[in-house]
Amino acid sequence: MSLSTNLTDHLLVCAVVAVYLISGGRVSIGCSIVVLYALSMYDSAKNLKVSEAESDQVSLEGAEKQKKKTCCGGKGGSSCCSSGGSGKKGGCCGGACASKKKAQEELTLTSPNPEPSVDEPIAIDFTHAFKPARSSKSKTGTKKMPRLISRTAGGAKKDTGFFKKALTVSNEKLSNSQIYVFYSSLQGAAERSAKTVLETLSGMPELKRTPKLLNLDDLSDFDDYFVNVPGPDALYILVLPSYDSDSPLDFFLQSLQENANDFRIDKFVLRKLVGYAVLGIGDSESWPEKFCYQARQADLLLAKQGGRRVFPVGEICMKFGGDPKVAEWSKLLSETLRDDEPILYEYDETLDDEEPQGPEDELTKEPLIDLEDVGKSSELQDVSSVKKMIGKDSPTFKNLTKQGYTVVGSHSGVKICRWTKNDLRGRGSCYKHSLFNIVSSRCMELTPSLACSSKCIFCWRHGTNPVSKTWRWEVDDPEYILENALQGHYAKIKQMRGVPGVIAERFAKAFKVRHCALSLVGEPIMYPFISKFVSLLHQKEISSFLVCNAQHPEPLRDLGKVTQLYVSIDAPTKNELKKVDRPLYRDFWERLMECLDILRTTQSHQRTVFRMTLVKGFNMADVSAYADLVQRGLPCFIEVKGATFCGTSDGNGNPLTMQNIPFYEECAKFVKSLATELQRRGLEYDVAAEHAHSNCILIASTKFKINNEWHTHIDFDKFFELLNSGKDFDHMEYLQKTPEWALFGNGGFAPGNTRFYKKKRGQEIQDKEGQNLPESANTQPIVV
Ligand SMILES: Cc1cc2nc3c(=O)[nH]c(=O)nc-3n(C[C@H](O)[C@H](O)[C@H](O)COP(=O)(O)O)c2cc1C
Ligand code: SF4
């Protein structure tokens, strides 16, 4: 108790005694005073305790205020000069922060019941919250997780721990997805295997939807599945063979790679898929180095674009009974789809360091690749490796030779057409005779590129000829191609010498080819040396008829002189063209427009022809839209031909039937209304000539009607004379009068030939040039 308190007490006692004496020393008053005094003493003792506690609180607040003025605001840590981090003990706060921190820590540690208030933040240590399943499981001896691919950039590995690990787990129910089984097959093994996969999956009662089977080579646009996806729950299974020579799969892989590098396409565009799995088939004995390499490429490309692998790539050698292994892979896949356990889609390989690799790692033999490195993988560089377009041992080679082609070098083909044989036997030439004066027995049909940049529905490519937007193969010399093509052609002519009815004179002349139709199958203008090749033809006085698909404006612009330049116009509108030609280019319509502009301008000196192939139900309705195209390209001629039915369309995606084949009358009606529409617009065109037998009718610019007589025929001697003169000349300088028999309405059958009516045992079939083919080729789809 303090001195001041004692003094107050003494004064109080004196005052009480004085009051007692003044009041006469009465006992009752004296007692009351003593009680009051005792009460007041108790109260003051209590107050003293409270004030002592308050004064402690005030002094703490004062210390807090002072702390905020220190170097670190009292936080200590590395920002405080008193902390260990600064290396200075004491610092500006004299070490108060540090000592305070220490005191607080001590308080916390010694506090018996440190119940935090609701508002206080709680610190939880997540370090061990996401232990990789693999590590923990393998320690207990249970199944190890498959090795999967990380999508994390190397630099980001260290700081994405929490989110990255959380992203690795997916709980999608795979059995709810719509499964698409894709395949690509040249000889049938992949198709068979895909069907096994399909059957196995279809037998799963858990699957909500029936799986679908799709041939990659029949897809008109890969983008429908590999840029867009058909639904939110699509799951893809790809069954792919490998070929070290060119195969349709090359184009698919090339497209995937282009998508991966196309800045307009979302980098992880295939994240929209529930997942994917690839089954590779191949031959490990004959191609040990390249065994199933294209399946692996596909797998990496799908992963690179965000696809989630739901099952490891299968690699099965088909040489020695691979079918049971395919069934086994399919069964394992179906078990995975059934299994609702989460799948580790992304994988942090740094977590692998936590334990040594087990023997299972050896078994998987799957190299762990960071997705960021996928593009640099040597496997992927192979996607765009330069191959021969048609290797001698390739199925495409066998297919083409079976169909009567002579494959020249690695990318050209020559074939003797039925009209050539017909003309040798005096049975008449093809429609090009009546329209333009080409004699079939002296014509060679050739293409320097068996590959094409379209997949036209009426083409008889059987889904086997290579497709690509650009040239991606080894290139043969033009001299080599011409020399060997002529040899191949003459060899076939020679075979005709024993055929009954061959006219000796025509047979002799046939050994000096006069015309070359650069069409056949494929896209000739894709050949990088097309102009040189054409000039070599001209040097041998062989006229050139070049047909192109209007998808390659650059080489079209650069093209040198040709005798006649064709552009195929297979449909008049963008939508119809996409349906009919199934072009590979996204900007196919713009390319067509550019080609038309080139015909009207840069190449207007040439004899230009629009070639239209009429397919009922596909491209015959919109005459006015065709007129728009004519107005833009202003060709010299419009050659209109009805498509021809050539048998079934088995497995090559050709949707045409006999119902799509127009009759001559329908073609004639179409041609007349097109001519009328052009005239209505003030464009000077009219119907000129025909070859009724081939359903072919010619509309010509009226500038070829000289003195009221059509001059659609070519004076070939004059053409070479002009060419050899070295002077510039144009299409109006080598004309010849159209003979009477060829004019529209007269049928177009040349005199001097005997009309031959074949007994119709099967469908009469024709090749791309409109030439009829032997009946043995009756499995071919529509060709024109
Ligand atoms: C010309 C040719 C090249 C081949 N190249 C490879 C190859 O590089 N790697 C491979 O694993 N198998 C290769 N094979 C084997 C095929 O991939 C195998 O026969 C496959 O089953 C064919 O599938 P398909 O019948 O669906 O076309 C090749 C086969 C041929 C005929
Ligand atoms: S018809 Fe011609 S342009 Fe069309 S795919 Fe066949 S070869 Fe190519």
Tell me, yes or no, whether 423 and 293 share the same domain: no
3 state SS for 55-124? HHHHHHHHHHHHHCCCCCCCCCHHHCCCCHHHCCCCCCCCCHHHHHHHHHHHHHHHCCCCCCCCCCCCCC
The answer to whether 772 touches 766, Cβ cutoff 8 Å, is yes
Pocket test for ligand 1, best of 243, 326, 464 (most atoms within 8 A of CB): 243
Query: Is the distance from CB of 245 to CB of 400 less than 8 angstroms?
Result: no
- What is the residue whose two structure tokens read 């089954």? 279
Does residue 329 share a domain with residue 435? no
**Which residues have any ligand 2 atom within 6 Å of their CB?**
452, 454-456, 459, 461, 521-523, 549
Same domain, 328 and 404: no
In a domain, 150, yes or no: no
**Per-residue burial over 51-83, b = 16 or more CB atoms within 10 Å of its CB, e = otherwise:** eeeeeeeeeeeeeeeebeebbbebebeeebbbb
The answer to whether 417 touches 440, Cβ cutoff 8 Å, is yes
- Segment 763-784 shows an average pLDDT of 35
Same domain membership, residue 422 and residue 294: no
Residue 363 counted as domain residue: no
Our count of domains for the chain comes to: 2
**Would 87 be classed as within a structural domain?**
no
Give pLDDT, residue 465: 75
| Residue 215 to residue 173: CA distance in whole angstroms | 26
CATH number, domain of 320, equals 3.40.50.360
Q: Is the CB of 216 under 6 A from ligand 1?
A: no
H and E: helices and strands count for the chain: 25, 23
- 370 within a domain of the structure (yes/no): no
At 60-119, the pLDDT tens digits run 344 343 333 333 333 333 333 333 333 333 333 333 333 334 334 333 333 334 343 334
User: Which ligand is closest in space to the CA of residue 291?
Assistant: 1
Residues 690 and 544 in one domain: yes
- Do 649 and 771 sit in the same domain of this protein? yes
Residues 322 and 440 in one domain: no
Residue 188 CA: which ligand 1 atom is closest?
Answer: 25
Is residue 454 very low, low, confident or very high in pLDDT (cuts 50, 70, 90)?
confident
Domain shared by 296 and 405, yes or no: no
The parent domain of residue 498 ranges over: 395-777
pLDDT at residue 276 in the model: 93
Q: Per mean pLDDT, which range of 253-262, 475-484, 689-698 is the poorest?
A: 253-262
The 10s digit of each residue's pLDDT in 197-238 is 999 999 999 999 999 999 998 888 899 999 999 998 999 999
Nearest to 291 by CA among 279, 303, 299, 282: 282
Measure the CA–CA gap between 195 and 181, rounded to whole angstroms. Answer: 8
- If you measure from the C-alpha of residue 189 to the centroid of ligand 2, how many angstroms do you get, rounded to a whole number? 27
Answer yes or no: is pLDDT of 741 > 80.
yes
pLDDT at 769 (0 to 100) = 41
Segment of 216-220, 269-273, 320-324, 527-531 carrying the highest mean pLDDT:
527-531
Q: Above 80 in pLDDT, residue 378? A: no
Which residue, 341, 363, 381, sits at the end of a domain?
A: 341
Share of the chain above pLDDT 90, in %: 48
265-313 per-position pLDDT tens digit: 888 999 999 999 999 999 999 999 999 999 999 999 999 999 988 888 8
Residue 33 placed within a domain: no
Q: Of 278, 306, 341, which residue constitutes the final position of a domain?
A: 341
The pLDDT assigned to 393 comes to 86
Mutate to test the pocket of ligand 1, among 242, 293, 382, 401 (most ligand atoms within 8 A of CB): 242
pLDDT for res 341: 72
CATH code for the domain of 706? 3.20.20.70
For ligand 1, atom 5, the nearest C-alpha belongs to 243
Indicate if 324 and 424 belong to the same structural domain.
no
Q: In terms of domains, do 453 and 332 share one? A: no
User: CA 640, CA 622: separation in Å to the nearest integer?
Assistant: 14
- Is 517 contained in some domain? yes
Average pLDDT of the chain to the nearest whole number: 77
How much distance in Å is there from the Cα of 79 to the middle of ligand 1? 67
Which ligand gives the minimal distance to the CA of 525? Answer: 2
Amino acid, res. 237: I
Token pair belonging to 165? 């690990």
Task: Flag whether 541 is in a domain.
Answer: yes
Compute the distance from residue 450 Cα to the ligand 2 centre, in Å.
10
Do 558 and 460 fall into the same domain?
yes
pLDDT at position 352: 44
Residue 5 lies in a domain: no
Q: What's the confidence (pLDDT) of residue 560? A: 96
The whole-number pLDDT of residue 752 equals 73
**Least-confidence region, from 115-129, 510-524, 636-650, 659-673:** 115-129
User: H-helix or E-strand containing 282?
Assistant: strand 275-282
Same domain, 675 and 753: yes
For residue 103, the model assigns a pLDDT of: 36
- The last residue of one of the domains, among 322, 341, 360, is 341
